[in-house]
Amino acid sequence: MYILIEPSTLVATGFASSLGREGVPLASFLPEEFLEWMTAAPSEDLRTVEAFLLGNCEQPESLSKFIRAHSPAPVIAMSETPSLERTLALFQAGADDVVRKPVHVRELLARVEAVRRRERVEARSVEIGRLRVYFDGRSPDVAGAELALPRRERRILEVLAAQRGRWLTKQQVFAATYGLFDDQVQESVVESHVSKLRRKLAAALGVDPVESKRFLGYRIACARAPRKPPAR
């Protein structure tokens, strides 16, 4: 989920629509609402945030410092007027990148993924048997061969892999995939994505590494050997 801090409802709606077409959930806040939400938000909710986007705010430097004190997620500031002083001040305040508006959402996604690659040099991927899952936007691979997945299925796999061995409820997977504030999507849609992901993993690995249990949710298990056909 991305968080946008933007005083204009019209601008926020446009970003939500554009990012939604890319399969990225967005929650937008007015600056004063954002401060209140982030102060009270549980750490579990904050972990679902992939990036913060600073819009046309009056004091973006203060917001950047506030975000950096509460979350390690990338902070991308968007500026309508080029200003060296403002750009330097934003970097000093903890922003990871500053871009000039108007900016295409695909460029924002690429910049966020670039920041994530730099920040996760030491833990940018995990191995689960022959499966390697990346956290920098790349598709997973099986024994070195790319396993192409749609964005939402890849995101679910990243969430499960990052918490491998731990059970994640459907709501946790839902929040990480669609956002905390999206009440237009039913949990059954998440179940459908998980089901498709499991079929693809089973086909590529010869075994389904994702476990599911009623009331517990989902987890990705440690490596398991593929099932051998019964001896004749």
| Mean pLDDT to the nearest integer, 35-52 | 84
Give per-residue pLDDT as tens, 2-43.
999 999 999 999 999 998 888 888 889 999 899 999 888 887
| pLDDT surpasses 50 at 225 | no
Rounded distance between C-alpha atoms, residue 34 and residue 124, angstroms: 29
Look at residue 47 in the predicted model and tell me its pLDDT: 77
Look at residue 63 in the predicted model and tell me its pLDDT: 93
User: What single-letter amino acid sits at 196?
Assistant: K
At 189, phi and psi to the nearest 5? Answer: -70, -40
- Domain with residue 69: its CATH number is 3.40.50.2300
Does 227 fall in a domain?
no
* Final residue in a domain of this structure, among 85, 104, 119: 119
Cβ atoms of residues 120 and 134 within 8 Å: no
pLDDT band at 183 (very low <50, low <70, confident <90, very high): low
Look at residue 176 in the predicted model and tell me its pLDDT: 76
| pLDDT surpasses 80 at 208 | yes
Rounded distance between C-alpha atoms, residue 7 and residue 227, angstroms: 55
Please state, rounded to an integer, the average pLDDT across all residues of the chain.
85
More confident residue, 188 or 32: 32
Does 228 fall in a domain?
no
Do 129 and 201 share a domain, yes or no? yes
- Domain with residue 192: its CATH number is 1.10.10.10
| Mean pLDDT to the nearest integer, 79-90 | 88
Task: Give me the numbers of helices (H) and strands (E) for the chain, helices first please.
Answer: 9, 11
* Final residue in a domain of this structure, among 119, 148, 177: 119
Look at residue 119 in the predicted model and tell me its pLDDT: 63
Look at residue 146 in the predicted model and tell me its pLDDT: 93
What is the share, in percent, of the chain residues with pLDDT greater than 70? 88
Do 54 and 129 share a domain, yes or no? no
Q: Considering the entire predicted model, what is its pTM? A: 0.58
Do 106 and 130 share a domain, yes or no? no
Split into its structural domains, the chain has a count of 2
pLDDT band at 55 (very low <50, low <70, confident <90, very high): very high
* Final residue in a domain of this structure, among 85, 119, 153: 119
| Mean pLDDT to the nearest integer, 132-160 | 89
Does 50 fall in a domain?
yes
| Mean pLDDT to the nearest integer, 126-149 | 89
Domain with 145, as residue range(s), is 125-220
Do 163 and 114 share a domain, yes or no? no
Rounded distance between C-alpha atoms, residue 156 and residue 177, angstroms: 6
Do 8 and 44 share a domain, yes or no? yes
Long-range contact pairs involving 138-142 (C-beta distance under 8 Å, separation at least 24): 142/204, 142/205
Look at residue 50 in the predicted model and tell me its pLDDT: 85
Do 25 and 45 share a domain, yes or no? yes
| pLDDT surpasses 80 at 74 | yes
| Mean pLDDT to the nearest integer, 79-89 | 87
| pLDDT surpasses 70 at 190 | yes
More confident residue, 133 or 222: 133
